[in-house]
Every structure is written in C-alpha cells, then in structure tokens.
Amino acid sequence: MNKLGPVPLGDSNPVRIMGILNLSPESFYKKSIKTTRQEISETVKKMENQGADFVDVGGMSTAPYISTIISEKTEAKRITDAVKIIQNKTNLPISVDTCRSSVAVQALELGVDIINDISGLKYDRQMIDVLRIYDPSLVLCAFSKKLVRGNQILKTKELLHESLKLAKLAGVSIKKIVLDPAIGFFRKSGKGPFFTKINSEWLERDLSLLVNLKSIKQNQPVLVSVSNKSFIGKIMNKKNPTDRLPGSLTAEVVAVINGANIIRTHNIRETRSVVSTVKKLCRPDKSL
C-alpha cells in the first residue's frame, strides 16, 4: 500500500487534502501568510477541523516569477519554529516544502513525516544522503535545470522518472513516494533557480497536464497543486490571487476526475466540498 507519512493513498482510498501553510512574507498569495505563533496555531487547528489530511509548511516562497531567495538559516528557523507550534496544536502529519538538505535535516530531527522537494531531489544533491539517514516519505516534483523542449507530457514523465531513480538511490521505498507534475513552475522565463525553462507556452503546458494526469502517474500516487496559481489568473483574467477561488476549485475538480490522489490547497473547506461533490456525481461506486 502506498502511503505519504501515515496516510494511505491510491485509487481505493479517498482523495486526500493537503493544507498549505506559508511562513514566508515573500509569498505570492498574501492572504495565506502566517508568521506569528497565534496565526500558525489558529490556522493549523482550522485546517484540521475543515478536513485536511496533511499540513505542508513552506519557509521560502518558490514562485517562479518573483525573486524570493532567502538564507538557509532563515528558512530553517521559520520552519522549525512552526513545526514545534504545529506539533503542540494538532496531530496532522507535517510535510516540509524545501529542496535544501540542511533545512530538511532540522525538520526531520523534529519528527516531520514528509519532505516535499520541488526540485525532485535535483537542486541539492546532499539531500540524497539526508534521505538515506531519515527515510521520510517524499513528494517529488518535475524539475530540470536545463531547457525542456518538445512534448511537455512526455518530458514531464521523463523528469519524474529521473527523480524516482534518485529516490531509489537514496533507498526510499517506492511505496512512500508521491509525484507532482509541478503545475505553474514551467516557464519561458523566471527569477531564481526554482523553475524549469521551456520553449513552449506555459499555460498550454499546465492545462494539458491537468487533463493528462493518468498518463504521468507511472503507477504512483499524484499530488496536484493549482490553488490560486497564475494560470488560473490568466484564464479568469484575475491578477489578484484572492479573486481566483472559483477557478482554483474548477481546476481541482478536473484534477480529481483525471486521477489526482492529493490536492494541495489554500482552500481546505471548499476543496473538501468539491471533492465530495465529484465523488457523488462522477464516481458513485468508488470512494474518492
């Protein structure tokens, strides 16, 4: 059975909800930023009450269109402070959104269940050594440091396969790995190291991935994160992320219909509701 942390995954299990906790004032979605002890405590308790299965903690924004690099020391402090608060407030499994090995070590030392590496283990090769020691569950995103040309569906599958090979090298069980096609991170141009450069239209790539999720799964559970992202804004003609809820929920419905096993979102109550509705409308004989 596939699991992410202690939570079972797969088509015979419900679609899981991962709540996003942004600790970084640099984040593109200002409404989601929580920096004080009270804000973090109240937010994670609310996530739990609204039906989240995990909380994903990010200490540094990785939006590809803004420059948000901070020191590893600052990222680690934000994350470790928040993890301690969360552990005192809820039993939700904690995922840490980082691709830096030194940050991962400090989080794993506190008992974190999951590392969500948006570089698919390709940014910091010392992450392999960390995984060998701590053996966490993983979310691996499609990522390349080089320009990606050609069919974006096939290239995404190839990039994810490369990350699976790195995880195998680290000794992580295939049953503890979830794949993320990295919607929103493939661009013609960007700032910072946390995006993949492509020579095709990024909006077309994101939309194509949403409707072709089953073709990239490679027998692994898939996580989709589309909440309030810029491709939603482009479709809706909404520059402010706070105006993108209807589009976000619609994209999440499409993702679930096409095989997503986890939805990572800022909007837990609303996402839980639409997932339940999809279950009743589209797959009444199966548990989403």
All structural domains of the chain with their residue ranges: 2-282
**pLDDT band for position 221 (cuts 50, 70, 90):** very high
| Cα Rg of the chain, angstroms | 17
Please answer whether residues 58 and 21 qualify as being in contact, where contact means their C-beta atoms are separated by less than 8 angstroms.
yes
Residues 6+ apart with CB under 8 A from 107: 57, 76, 79, 80, 83, 94, 96, 98, 115
Q: How many residues does the chain have?
A: 288
Asked whether the predicted pLDDT for residue 285 surpasses 60, the reply is no
The CA distance from 212 to 218, in Å, is 12
Average pLDDT over residues 66-82: 89
Per-residue model confidence (pLDDT) at position 25: 74
User: Is the four-CA dihedral 42, 179, 246, 17 of positive or negative sign?
Assistant: negative
Percent of the chain with pLDDT over 90: 71
Give strand pairing partners of 141.
Answer: 180
Please answer whether residues 217 and 179 qualify as being in contact, where contact means their C-beta atoms are separated by less than 8 angstroms.
yes
Q: What CATH number matches the domain at 2-282, 3.40.50.10800, 3.30.200.20, 3.40.50.1980, 3.20.20.20?
A: 3.20.20.20
Please calculate the CA angle 48-107-97 and round it to the nearest 5 degrees: 65
Per-residue model confidence (pLDDT) at position 281: 83
